[in-house]
Amino acid sequence: MRKLIVVVAALALVAAACGGAGDEAGGGEGAAEQPFRIAVVAPSAINDLAFSQSIYDGLVAIQEEMGGPTKVELAVTDGTFVVEDAAAAIRDYAAQGYDLVIAHGSQYGTSLQEIAPDFPDVSFAWGTAGDTFGLPNVFAYEAASNQGGYVMGVMAAALSESGVVGIIGPIEVGDAKLYVDGFAAGVKAQDPTVDVTINYTGSFSDVALAAEAARAAIGAGADVLTGTAQMVVGAVGVAQEEGVLWFGTQADQTQLAPEIVVASQVYHWEVVLRDMIDLIQQGTLGGEAYVIDLANGGEEIAFNPGFDLPADVKQLGQDTIQGIIDGSIVVPAGG
């Protein structure tokens, strides 16, 4: 008898769970227009003030632009650094019939290549990357982070009094490498005598290591620092403590250290998301590779209004931005 009760209870729970999910998918809107459904899978937290936050902010901006949650439905799975977990989430969203499934992580490429052909009616987007695998329902998007890096490198060289600038990176790949190379190039272009110390800590997430790397750079004489990836919050903390200047990337990092953050390169993914959604609504589900850069407004240098930046350095920065946009300054793309 007891066993029967347990079995019935378990079945009831399962039924309730399925019923609940069914309600959500059906939606309260029996309205004529179905909302555009976007799902995103990201490797770190969407409030990491870096990589994953940038795509989330972009999606929220798009949602507002397009009329709010009734017009655009957003689903987020974050913290899936492990590729298997992300692949499961991507496949899940595709199976649930989302219009656009965004795989925001270069490590998700192989998984996407396997999953996309199984769902020809779902549009996928892969970032940061430039390869659409020749599949008709895959978009690719990346950031020319070397451009913003270059601009800030120029300003860093101009601001540095000690003549040493430090860069804290995670692993020398992809977006991180692009940014670091761009920044270093900017420093050298502005002032070849400035020393650039680059430290790839070997981890995207080890905050303690990033903090100690920042200390080591400061010990080597750096009075301006920059870095990329979500572990960088540790380095910013140390910069704040030691009164060293900071340039941020991927998101506006001003609030982490309002006194010493000079500027951040902010990604506005909505610039390319808009285009993707337009194409999807017209029936083209993929095949385009997008790049956000200074010219199309996808990258913006957000100056910290609370930081007292000398006017000539700010002008230097803005001139450099203009130079990159009109092509008179060519930023090296890594090497």
Partner 1 sequence: MGEFFTSAVLVSTVASGLRLSTSYLFAAIGETFGQRSGVLNLGVDGIMLLGAFGAYYTVLNGGGLWLGMVVAITVGLVMGLAMAFTSVTLQAEQGISGIGFYLFGLGLSDLLFQKLVGTPLPIRGFPELRIPLLADLPVVGEMLFSHSIVVYAAFLLVPVGAFVLNRTTLGLKIRSVGENPEAADTLGVSVAGVRYFTVMTGSALAGLGGAALATELGIFQQNLTAGQGFIAVALVYFGAWRPVGVMAGSLLYGLVASVVLQLKTLGIIPRSASELAAMLPAVLTILALVVAVQRERQPAALTKPYERGA
Is residue 220 close enough to count as binding partner 1 by CB under 8 A?
Answer: yes
Is residue 162 close enough to count as binding partner 1 by CB under 8 A?
Answer: no
Is residue 172 close enough to count as binding partner 1 by CB under 8 A?
Answer: yes
- Distance of closest approach, residue 219 Cβ to partner 1, in angstroms: 5
Is residue 75 close enough to count as binding partner 1 by CB under 8 A?
Answer: no
| Selection from 73, 130, 131 nearest residue 100 by Cα | 73
- Interaction pattern, residues 275-304, with partner 1; x per rule: CB under 8 A: ------------------------------
- Distance of closest approach, residue 59 Cβ to partner 1, in angstroms: 16
Name 76's Cβ contacts closer than 8 Å, sequence gap at least 6: 39, 40, 42, 46, 56
CB closer to partner 1 out of 123 and 226: 226
Is residue 307 close enough to count as binding partner 1 by CB under 8 A?
Answer: no
Q: Which of 96, 107, 113, 197 binds partner 1 (CB under 8 A)?
A: 197
Burial of 243 (0-12, 13-18, 19+ CB in 10 A): exposed
| Selection from 169, 162, 164, 189 nearest residue 317 by Cα | 189
Which pair of tokens denotes residue 159?
């601001």
- Distance of closest approach, residue 233 Cβ to partner 1, in angstroms: 5
Q: Which of 20, 97, 120, 202 binds partner 1 (CB under 8 A)?
A: 202
Q: Do 68 and 45 contact (CB within 8 A), yes or no?
A: no
How would you label 201-228 residue by residue, b for 16+ Cβ within 10 Å and e otherwise?
A: beebebbebbbbbbbebbeeebbbbbbb
Is residue 48 close enough to count as binding partner 1 by CB under 8 A?
Answer: yes
Is residue 44 close enough to count as binding partner 1 by CB under 8 A?
Answer: yes
Name the one range near partner 1 by CB under 8 A: 16-24, 93-101, 234-242, 268-276: 234-242
CA 102 to chain centre: 12
Is residue 109 close enough to count as binding partner 1 by CB under 8 A?
Answer: no
Name 22's Cβ contacts closer than 8 Å, sequence gap at least 6: none
CB closer to partner 1 out of 88 and 207: 207
Q: How far apart are the first and last CA of the chain?
A: 72
Is residue 184 close enough to count as binding partner 1 by CB under 8 A?
Answer: no
CB closer to partner 1 out of 56 and 150: 56
Is residue 203 close enough to count as binding partner 1 by CB under 8 A?
Answer: yes
Give the DSSP letter string of 311-322: HHHHHHHHHHHH
Q: Which residues on adjacent β-strands are paired with residue 140?
A: 126, 289
3-state SS, residue 335: coil
Amino acid letter, 223 = D
Q: Which of 63, 132, 230, 249 binds partner 1 (CB under 8 A)?
A: 230
- Distance of closest approach, residue 123 Cβ to partner 1, in angstroms: 28
How many binding residues for partner 1 (CB under 8 A)? 42
Matching residue, tokens 């992580």: 105
Name the one range near partner 1 by CB under 8 A: 64-72, 87-95, 193-201, 311-319: 193-201
The binding site for partner 1 (CB under 8 A) comprises 44-49, 53, 78-79, 166, 171-172, 197-203, 205-209, 211-213, 215-217, 219-220, 230, 233-234, 236-237, 240-241, 255-257
